[in-house]
Amino acid sequence: MSDKAISHDYLNGLVFELEKAFWDERGRGCRFRMMEVGRGIYENDCKDRIPGPEIPAIVQVVKAVLLEKGIVGDVSYAQEDLTLRISVQGCLHLPVEERMLAKGIEPFTCVPANLIIMGIEDKLNRQVELAEIKCENGVCQLLLVVFDRPALVV
């Protein structure tokens, strides 16, 4: 194997082809299968750095890891009750989403969102859904919905 660096264009091209093939096979149903993408990054780089079960701490650790790895330029968020609006700028994977949009396919997976979801589910024991991904002008706007765990009635 060569020590030569592989271009981002090449890797994003492969990711696009894999996502497109999965979409062609499963349609909208594929989005629920893609929630585990990034699990290794969460387990190896994020999980032990999260100091406690608070959403701001989770987002800050995920942001720091993504910046350290050169995956994003910035991550910011706003929380309104049980929704999180996350803005991801300068994401390495944005060209994949742009190619999906050019084919008329709404983006259905996002590594930064997945890492935040994994943190919330792990540290707060709350279920989270990636409800929306919108990509415009080099920025992805994500909407996450955090669900309360129903109380068991005995």
In tens, the pLDDT along 71-118 reads 999 999 999 988 999 999 999 999 999 998 999 988 888 999 999 999
- Contacts of residue 10, defined as CB under 8 A and 6 or more positions apart, other chains included, come to none
pLDDT for residue 42: 97
Cβ neighbour number for residue 37 with a 10 Å cutoff: 16
Give the residue, 10 or 64, on which the prediction is more confident.
64
pLDDT for residue 78: 97
Longest dimension (CA), the chain: 62
Helix (H, G, I), strand (E, B) or coil at 93: coil
Domain range annotation of the chain: 8-147
pLDDT for residue 152: 65
Written out in words, the top-level CATH class of the domain with range 8-147 is alpha beta
pLDDT for residue 25: 85
pLDDT for residue 27: 80
pLDDT for residue 1: 54
pLDDT(61) > 60: yes
pLDDT digits (tens, 9 = 90+) for 1-57: 566 777 888 887 888 888 888 888 888 777 778 888 899 999 999 999 999 999 999
